[in-house]
Structure 1
Amino acid sequence: MEKFITIALFITSMVIGHAQTEHEKVEKACYNYIEGFYEGDTAKLKASLQPELNKFGFWKDKETGNYKQVDHMSYDQALAYAENVKAKKNFAKPNSPKEVEVLNMGNSIAAAKVFAWWGIDYILLSKRDDKWMIEQVLWEGPYEEKS
């Protein structure tokens, strides 16, 4: 009986130890987002983006140094962008920045900051059926070393 209890406790601790925390799930959704664009992987984007995605941002004009608003990107446009990356083999460089910082978490909402080759993104996520999904993205580029 003692062996059975020891084995049961060991298996339970392994399962609990391997279960992703909510924090890790938010990070995973954000890494799927970056890697989906970097690798042209629509499966990763579909796994982390809400179909109602609202993404928009600002790009720094090289000549003037001013930031200009860039057109809105929808869920379908995000997938099309990734498909284009894959078709043209226009993948991100291996040393491209890829960082995720979870800023805050509630029970069903979270905020994260992402560093990618194009710039910095602030991401709002919601928890849907135990899965964290990206709802909103506000970004600014080009990427500059974080301070």
Structure 2
Amino acid sequence: MKKSIVLFVLLATFSFVNAQSNAEKESVEKACLNYIEGFYEGDESKLKASLQPSLNKFGFWKNKEGDYEQQNPMSFENALAYARIVLEKKQFPKPDAPKKVEVLDVGNSIASAKITAWWGIDYILLSKRGDKWMIEQVLWEGPLEKS
């Protein structure tokens, strides 16, 4: 009888922890999708929902000679301004543009993810603020290589 109770408690604990970790992973995915969709749709509210005001985003773009050059950093305000331009000028990506999120790791208060979008790839670092995952840092490289 004691073994049955111990086994039940262990299984219940495992199920709870697994469900909790799945919920955290889904929350990280949601923050990353808000990020991509915010830029794709020109939706400032999605960016505000996923970006820390102290955002640090920078990356590398391939020049005409084929060399990668570091681009100017993008702040939280720059990200919102970019979204406004996308919406105002209707510069939406093609419907089949990549929109992939891979959650790499989720800790108690930090997480990492890889995003594939029309502009290339982004590596994302997130922090948990209260019960919400927020993007702190982005390091990106574009464009995607044609295969």
- Which runs of no fewer than 5 residues in structure 1 stay unpaired? 1-16
1:52 and 1:145 mapped to 2: Cα distance?
A: 34
SS of structure 2 residue aligned to 1:126 = strand
Q: Displacement, 1:143?
A: 1.7
Residue 26 of structure 2 corresponds to which residue in structure 1?
A: 24
1:143 and 1:111 mapped to 2: Cα distance?
A: 20
Deviation >3 Å, runs of 4+: none
TM-score by length of 2: 0.84
Q: How many residues align?
A: 127
Residue 97 of structure 2 corresponds to which residue in structure 1?
A: 96
Residue 40 of structure 1 corresponds to which residue in structure 2?
A: 42
1:88-128 CA distances to partner (integer Å, 9 max, x unpaired)? 00111100000000001100000000000000000000000
Residue 56 of structure 1 corresponds to which residue in structure 2?
A: 58
2:106 and 2:132 mapped to 1: Cα distance?
A: 14
Q: Displacement, 1:64?
A: 1.0
Residue 10 of structure 1 corresponds to which residue in structure 2?
A: none
- Which runs of no fewer than 5 residues in structure 2 stay unpaired? 1-18
Give the fraction of aligned pairs with identical amino acids, expressed as a percent: 70
The RMSD of aligned alpha carbons is 1.4
The code of the aligned residue for 2:53 comes to: P
Residue 6 of structure 1 corresponds to which residue in structure 2?
A: none
2:86 and 2:131 mapped to 1: Cα distance?
A: 30
1:104 and 1:92 mapped to 2: Cα distance?
A: 28
1:34-75 CA distances to partner (integer Å, 9 max, x unpaired)? 0000000000000000000000000011x2110000000000
Residue 126 of structure 1 corresponds to which residue in structure 2?
A: 127
SS of structure 2 residue aligned to 1:113 = strand
The code of the aligned residue for 1:103 comes to: L
